[in-house]
């Protein structure tokens, strides 16, 4: 039964996601498509639409939702600190410290995490995963961008960098709409929903564009560190967070599975935008995604 579950996850969830990225890479290689325009489109338009659409429409259930957000935040900060601190102890320069921290913390809770959770736990698990995904998006666009900005600028510039990120303002508007139960005009709601639906495919194509470059996975030390934190330490850190907060049942299992997702394409988009060693970050996204074919199927089978 466990082997059948592992095979189902591999065949019906993980491989289809990777197939979309792969097809994007093949087409891009054939027509010579550059990655920068699509990356910027995702950063400035489609990503913010996804955040607004998710936060403005999701039904939050008070205490449990707060615990889910807290667990995601604890896991994010812990993996970021572990990656950045490990790189600092290893004597890496400021740019590489930012890159390792970013890739260690930015998990793919969206285009990989959501379908994996849906298959493993059904609609109830998916509701939890959506809250976790939106929380992670906000954290990535605040803490992640702050750390990425440290790669090539002053601390003051890094502190103000998140304020120039469209997703942060989209999150604020989405929360306001949800909290005040504002009836968003159909024109705006439909437009945001349409762009939100397009964000994940575009993110996968961006990944495919980077996959088409066939990079070498070095330097070995930082790469091993970030992949180990994201795929191995991540689930244990998530387990510690949910245990500390007293989260059990469906939310417990869902958050631990999400803790073991590979590095998200968003990390590449942010690293490119702020020059935080985007080549290394891209390699880490690819390396962790390939490795997660094995680790995520084993992790799901445990639950």
CA angle 204, 206, 208 (to 5 degrees): 70
User: Peptide bond before 90: cis, by omega within 30 degrees of 0?
Assistant: no
Determine the pLDDT at residue 159.
Answer: 66
pLDDT of residue 272: 81
Q: What are phi and psi of 105, to 5 degrees?
A: -95, -30
**Is residue 5 a contact partner of residue 300, using CB atoms and an 8 Å limit?**
yes
Would you tell me the crossing angle of helices 63-89 and 220-228 to the nearest 10 degrees?
A: 160
What are 52's two structure tokens? 């607004």
108: left (phi over 0), alpha (psi -120 to 50) or beta: beta
Report pTM: 0.82
- 140-167 CB burial, b ≥16 within 10 A, e <16: bbbbbbbbbbbbeeeeeebeebbeebbb
What is the distance between the alpha carbons of residues 133 and 116, in angstroms, rounded to a whole number?
13
Distances (CA, A) of 126 to 24, 93, 167, 248: 26, 39, 22, 16
Q: In which residue ranges of the chain is pLDDT below 50? A: none
């Amino acid at each position: 039964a466990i082997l059948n579950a592992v095979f189902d996850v591999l065949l019906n969830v993980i491989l289809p996601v990777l197939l979309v990225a792969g097809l994007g890479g093949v087409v891009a290689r054939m027509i010579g498509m550059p990655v920068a325009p699509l990356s910027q489109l995702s950063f400035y338009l489609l990503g913010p639409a996804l955040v607004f659409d998710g936060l403005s429409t999701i039904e939050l259930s008070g205490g449990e939702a707060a615990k889910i957000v807290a667990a995601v935040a604890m896991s994010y900060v812990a993996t970021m600190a572990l990656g950045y601190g490990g790189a600092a102890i290893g004597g890496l320069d400021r740019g590489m410290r930012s890159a390792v921290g970013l890739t260690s913390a930015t998990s793919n809770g969206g285009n990989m995490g959501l379908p994996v959770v849906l298959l493993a736990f059904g609609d109830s698990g998916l509701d939890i995963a959506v809250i976790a995904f939106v929380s992670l998006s906000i954290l990535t666009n605040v803490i992640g961008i702050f750390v990425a900005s440290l790669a090539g600028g002053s601390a003051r510039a890094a502190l103000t960098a998140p304020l120039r990120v469209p997703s942060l303002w989209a999150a604020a508007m989405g929360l306001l709409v949800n909290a005040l139960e504002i009836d968003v005009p159909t024109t705006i709601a439909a437009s945001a929903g349409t762009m939100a639906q397009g964000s994940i495919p575009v993110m996968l194509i961006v990944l495919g564009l980077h996959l088409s470059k066939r990079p070498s996975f070095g330097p070995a030390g930082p790469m091993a560190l970030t992949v180990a934190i994201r795929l191995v330490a991540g689930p244990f850190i998530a387990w510690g967070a949910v245990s500390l907060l007293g989260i059990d049942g469906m939310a417990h299992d869902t958050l631990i599975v999400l803790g073991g997702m590979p590095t998200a394409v968003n990390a590449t988009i942010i690293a490119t935008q702020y020059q935080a060693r985007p080549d290394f970050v891209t390699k880490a996204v690819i390396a962790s995604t390939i490795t997660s074919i094995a680790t995520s199927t084993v992790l799901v089978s445990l639950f």
